[in-house]
Structure 1
Amino acid sequence: TGARSALLALDGINDVQIELAPATPTAPIGAAGHGQPAPLQAIPGVRQVIAVSSGKGGVGKSTVAVNLACALAQQGLRVALLDADIYGPNAPTMLGVADRSPEVSGSGDSQRLIPIESCGLAMVSMGLLIGPDQPVIWRGPMLNGIIRQFLYQVEWGVRDVLVVDLPPGTGDAQLSLAQAVPMAGVVIVTTPQQVALQDARRGLAMFQQLGVPVLGVVENMSWFSPPDQPERRYPIFGSGGGQTLAQEAGVPLLGQIPMELPVQEGGDSGRPVTLAQPESTAATALQHIARRLLELTSP
């Protein structure tokens, strides 16, 4: 399989055995007669898990996840990032480590991946295990398996927060994470555009149905300000959508992030905007969101 080949290509890996989980029942979540889910299993050394999700692609979810992880680290926390966007792993590029591969410790059943360190984070991603143009063509059971491996077979060490960048939508990855590990909560990323809000509502409702706390909504691409007129705001994708979604769900609007060139430049250069230009409007908004998350998840 593609998963076996990718793992065998790592230095120190001599053999790989992949166990496929039984197919998920087709009955709706919570349907009677299907028993109770397996108990949630905490990650040793990790105090809390915060997921970042979106209803659709193209809303800047991964950019928000990477920069929130960096902003939390700037607050003095020990932060790790799990790029669980298996089909579209972008975190290695955004953190400037796309050309690196994780090492492996131990042998046999005790083998563990060692995260890549960059920008103050420990990070694991499928993008570190495959070629830059290699697609991942997996069904649900294999996706579930690799997510569990990334959760429990990585030397995360002692971490205050593990930020998980989920793929867009409401699919196997979200269900696998929610049924595997206890989470402090999930952040829903959207843009003000109506089509994005419709999908964000579905994603938010899914996590509520799964019993995962929704920490709040982040509205990305809220407005554009010309560099020579920073006081002017142009709501290219509409306005007020994030606030409306948050009010409908009874959760806070954690913040609004403008469209700024430094955000794109940081993602492409491997130096996230929260580190490269911490005084920019977007970075300031992300730092504010990180502080709000700390307030919401503090014991």
Structure 2
Amino acid sequence: MKLQQQESAVEQQQGGEEKLPENLLLYFEQILHDDPLIDEVGFLHPTQFCSLDCARDGDSASQSTEFHCARYFWCRDHKLAISAEILPELYHAARDAYYNARDAPLSRTNLMRHTKALLILCPDLLTAWNSRKMVLSALYDFTKLKDELQLCALILSYSPKNESTWSHRRWVIKQVAEQHQDMLELIGNESILVKEIAEKSKMNYRAWRHRCWLIPYMTRKQVLDELNESTRWSELHVADNCCFHYRRSLLLALLDNFFGNEEDSLSWESDICLLWKEELRWDEMLIKRYQGREV
């Protein structure tokens, strides 16, 4: 009798281990659903993860979830930590769930949940990004598009040079621009995001290229403000030529705006000339100050 009980216990334990990746994925997706404002993700070595003492805090998600799931995740103040120990199993579970959701007649909600989890683990999967585009294109929803920008910002916080994420972010902005004439606030937030990423990720060509891509959506005042605000940043990061390319794009945009607008006055033409002359004087000053740099 005791032998049968022991065998039954072993079988239950083995069955639980087989379902562990699926349970981890469900737990991971529940965390993302419960806290849509997560803005930072960290993948920690098990020794680092243990120092968080997540079992005692119990702040990852529902207390009713099994302990063996909670021991791999920690979430507080919109910051999420995942133990690197379970990343391979979690990735494979997320990938399988996505493929099943894509090929089966499941709800779009499930498809979005699975792709979100999968892209956080591996943001280079273009098919997953395209699946999200397909769902978002079916019906315009500004709230969902804002959530999509939040997801992109989350991924860029730990993978700031991921081209797939930057490309998807531009697609989302295009969708918003087709429906909204006033892009002032959105473009301002984009500029702040790129500036923060550029501070953490030096020589990030993709981030600055995204900022250049935003220029046609800017008002004249925003272009002038961007030109003024980038002056100090360029002086502090003279070796990062990305910002100088950005300033060139801003100056060219002001010229294009002038020649494309017949209502511009002579005073505005004079202002543009002064801007270009001031830029040349400023460049000359930087060249003399930082000899050997490609200003």
TM-score (norm 2): 0.31
Over alpha carbons, which structure has the higher Rg?
A: 2
Which protein is richer in helix relative to its size? 2
Which protein is richer in strand relative to its size? 1
Larger RCO, structure (CA 8 Å, separation 6 or more):
1
